[in-house]
Chains A and B, each alone.
Chain A
Amino acid sequence: MSLDRIRNFSIVAHIDHGKSTLADRILEVTDTLTAREMREQVLDTMDLERERGITIKAQAVRVEWKGHQLNLIDTPGHVDFTYEVSRALQACEGALLVVDAAQGIEAQTLANAYLAIENDLEIVPVVNKIDLPQADPDSTAAEVAELVGDDPERVLRISAKTGEGVEAVLDALVERIPAPGGDPEAPARALVFDSSYDQYRGVVAFVRVVDGSFRPRERLRAMAQGTRFEPEELGFFSPDRVPTASLEAGEVGYVMTGLKDVSRLRVGDTLTSQERPAGQALPGYKDVKPTVFAGLFPTESDDYPELRDALERLKLSDASLFYEPETSRALGFGFRCGFLGLLHMEIVRERLEREFDLDLLVTAPNVAYRVITQAGEELEVHNPAEFSREFERVEEPFIRATTIVPKEYVGTVMELNNERRGQFDHMEYLSESRVLLIYDLPLAEIVYDYYDQLKSRTKGYASFDYDVTGFQEGALVRVDILLASDPVDALSLIVHREFAYDRGRALVERLRQEIPRQMFDVPIQAAIGTRIIARETIKARRKDVLAKCYGGDISRKRKLLERQKKGKKRMKQVGTVEIPQEAFLAVLDLNGERRS
């Protein structure tokens, strides 16, 4: 198809503002899917995506509208996947910016709108959910117009749910979004903006062809990584895979690479022909680094090989997942895993438990620290247990946090951010009632219970987003926890010196509540080095015996004890102390009350 008949666009929105519903409606209006084939969130194929109402992997689907080929690239909306989003946006010329008419602009709306603007996309602003009784389309349209620098009259008003205005959206896409540039005659270049893994056919690359054209069985090369392969098939999504004889400049589609390992073809790389290679790769490739780390241990130590296999297989479809073997004195053999963020961590853990049927113990997450030794060596530390005291200085990752709240909660958010070592940057009024706050915060301060605190203190009104901005030196110390005088490595945490005493005391108190009484007194101590900063004692049980055990019904009593024995397997034996799994997460929730 000639370039001027092609439009490539994505939809960006804050969570729950109706992105997936609009995508569904577009498929329906363009007859790509009949109403009978529709199910909610067609493009979100993972169970997890549908349940959580989020998109984890990008998707691309081709629809026909009035003689044009429209390629919709559905992107993950979450901060953890910003890099994926930015690659997906690079594959487009325009973006639909969808804002809920009742909610107005939220933190992710901003983050994604700025990303789209940075990528020079033509933004088509859309106010959705105008059918809701509490909708305020006019003021939302004014907010959005202000944000993207457009006329409020040009902001489309639709209801993706009822279908009202969806055809006008398609018309606007054709009118306002520029046709793709690129040279159909030049050596072939295509941007890999996402990939997935097919159990039988290997890595499937999602590509946007920029120059030239691609054909099956033509030998290709990924320019950044140097990976070579011969694609078995090319095609596009409608929304199922439809093979084609070629992918031409300007088009979006997939390439069946036949590769068996997703790490050999990274998002952001450029595909070219081996026979007639392009001189220069497309810009923007970078190696994404995990920011949040946690130990993953099988609940049953026998399951270690299963966990290893599961991580290997998950890594095939999730190149950003990082893992290395870890041995904990307390928890045995497991893996230290790196994630793009907390949501990514949660997703990986849920996929491991659901798709691989594993029972996991996940330690409290921590960030990656940069430790500069006295010898001047720079180390990256992923695990508090490896955090030694012999160093010149330590640097920790910082984020730029964007928070949008109704103005009455500004003080609340400031207070929370101050408690978390936040540095105020600036604030602005988005409208009379809504305020945007920008803070720099240590990432470590949000991996604990920051989200929960923010949500509960603002009664759920705050929206929050962040970008990792770099490293800053911090006065950090490691707080160790000792149970019955034995240090428990999996409970160590790294905190700012100023908070060490409070955190240590809170953790010790939480552990006293979480760890059941044992057959002897168990002192719990928090220590920095050899200095004890907090102490509690779990008093020994005084009695634990079946009162009545006479009569011939011995089997029932025996089974009772045997069941107790089995129940104990869910506890981790650390030295002489038995610790329930929940205790290892106590550190996550120091301000909360014990879950009863």
Chain B
Amino acid sequence: MTAPPGDVGVGVGHLYVHLPFCAHRCGYCDFVTLVGRPEQHARYVDALLGELELERSFLREPLDTIFFGGGTPTFTEPAALRGLLEALPSASEVTIEANPETVTPELAKLLVGRGVTRVSLGVQTFQPRLLEVLERRAQPDDVRRAVYHLRDAQIDNISLDLIYGIPGQEPSDLERDLDEALALEPDHLSCYELEAKPGTRFTHAYGDELARQGEAMEGYFERVVERLVAAGYRWYETANFCRPERRSRHNLGYWLGRDYLGLGIGAVTTVAGLRWRNAPSLGGYLGAIEDGRAPARELEPIDASTRSRERLMLGLRLDEPVPFVDVAGAVNAEALLRLERLRLVERPPGGLILTRRGRFLGGAVTVELLKESLEMATL
């Protein structure tokens, strides 16, 4: 196995912690989530800390970033959540995902008092009827309240998640969502197109409708970019926008190909050319950790060629060039020339970057750029 360049020997600076519990599973969700189970939250948190001890030698402390993803991390029993926040190493950026209806003044205080610097709110839309389609429990007022509570608690780095392309969403709905979101003056916005992922309840119910309206909604992404850029946000990643100096440093770690350690069920780690994914079973995870063993994991070596393909795929999502040396092995030279001629790709000195139009077609451009390789033949 070829050791990748980067943080080997220096230690891993990015930690992901998976908190899978939710009050309710939304129809479109395909993450590893568990509904309810308050009695197991504390035990799960203990197991997270147990897994941390097993892998701690990889880490470089203090950490650069920690990210609590879910599930609904803020749905975790407050005592358990507090215990977890207190036990983890410190980091200069600590993000937690939250559903608006879970954010109370008490919670905001708990978070800020234990090192959380950034909150990512799952807003999705401000239109009640579309919230219903998505099976979201928060109402538009909950979002506003949540933002005020967080600001009152001195959290000054708030990100809002929006979803567009919801069945039944009219262009005017999108405009209103953008208006409402901008009115809250968030530091960061993530705007995702709704994906009908195979096997979800949602796809079963709305898949055909989504396929039908696909073409009509093609312009939504353009509209999102236009509006947010006009409002002064930086389109720094395909689906992410920020005010100056407010990029998500944790996610930037993934996009720049850095190593990261993931804790919890379903969590993924990439360290020194090896990637593993913890099995999603809660019982299996708890049992293993309580026995002092690592949980069941799916291992995948990331060799130099795979790594450069990933660097290409992720690096081209950013508004800064990816260093050409990092991706040269994955790029088909002929395709590169073709795409340059089509003004979809540009080559600033030593780098590779998508043009504005190229970014809208980023997936197709990456597929085109990728060189055929032996590793891919096994798919």
Contacts and interface: CB of A to CB of B under 8 A. Distances in A.
Interface in B325-361: 338, 342, 344, 359-361
A519 B367 contact: no
B244 interface: no
A548 B254 CA distance: 13
A564 B362 CA distance: 13
Interface string A530-551: 0000000000011111111111
A568 B16 CA distance: 35
Contact of B221 (A543, A549, A552, A565): A543
B313 to A, nearest CB: 6
Contacts of B99: none
Contacts of A546: 238, 362-363
B269 A547 contact: no
B317 A565 contact: no
A519 B309 contact: no
Contact of B370 (A541, A555, A561): A561
A566 interface: yes
A565 B370 contact: yes
A288 to B, nearest CB: 44
Given A543-B221, A551-B268, A565-B367, A519 B69 contact: no
A555 B301 CA distance: 11
Given A544-B361, A545-B362, A565 B275 contact: no
Instruction: Report the interface size class on chain A.
Output: 20 to 34
A248 B195 CA distance: 78
Nearest to B239: A547
A389 B204 CA distance: 56
Contacts of B368: 519, 568
A486 to B, nearest CB: 14
B270 A568 contact: no
Contact of A558 (B309, B342, B365): B309
Contacts of B317: 549
Contact of B239 (A549, A564, A566, A568): A549
B379 A559 contact: yes
B371 to A, nearest CB: 9
A418 B105 CA distance: 83
B236 interface: no
A562 B310 contact: no
A555 B277 CA distance: 10
A552 B270 contact: yes
A561 B376 CA distance: 10
A567 to B, nearest CB: 9
B379 A549 contact: no
Contacts of A568: 367-368
Contacts of A557: 313
B148 interface: no
B192 A547 contact: yes
Given A551-B16, A554-B254, A544 B310 contact: no
Given A543-B221, A545-B238, A550 B376 contact: no
A558 B367 contact: no
B268 A553 contact: yes
Given A543-B360, A562-B309, A549 B219 contact: no
A337 B251 CA distance: 57
B119 to A, nearest CB: 16
A123 B4 CA distance: 84
Contacts of A565: 367, 370, 372, 376
A549 B193 CA distance: 11
B117 interface: no
Interface string B144-165: 0000000000000000000000
Nearest to A518: B364
A451 interface: no
Residue of B221, B248, B268, B361 with most partner-chain A CB within 10 A: B361
A552 B267 contact: yes
A139 interface: no
Interface string A327-358: 00000000000000000000000000000000
A520 B355 CA distance: 14
B194 to A, nearest CB: 8
A541 B364 contact: yes
Contact of A555 (B254, B260, B300): B300
Residue of A542, A551, A553, A564 with most partner-chain B CB within 10 A: A551
B254 A562 contact: no
Interface string B165-204: 0000000000000000000000000101111000000000
10 pairs of A and B residues whose beta carbons are closest in the complex: A552-B268, A545-B362, A547-B193, A544-B364, A545-B363, A547-B192, A542-B218, A550-B251, A564-B367, A562-B376
5 contacts: A519-B365, A551-B16, A552-B262, A561-B363, A565-B367
Given A519-B368, A545-B361, A565-B372, 10 more contacts: A541-B218, A547-B192, A547-B195, A547-B238, A551-B254, A551-B268, A552-B16, A555-B268, A558-B309, A568-B367
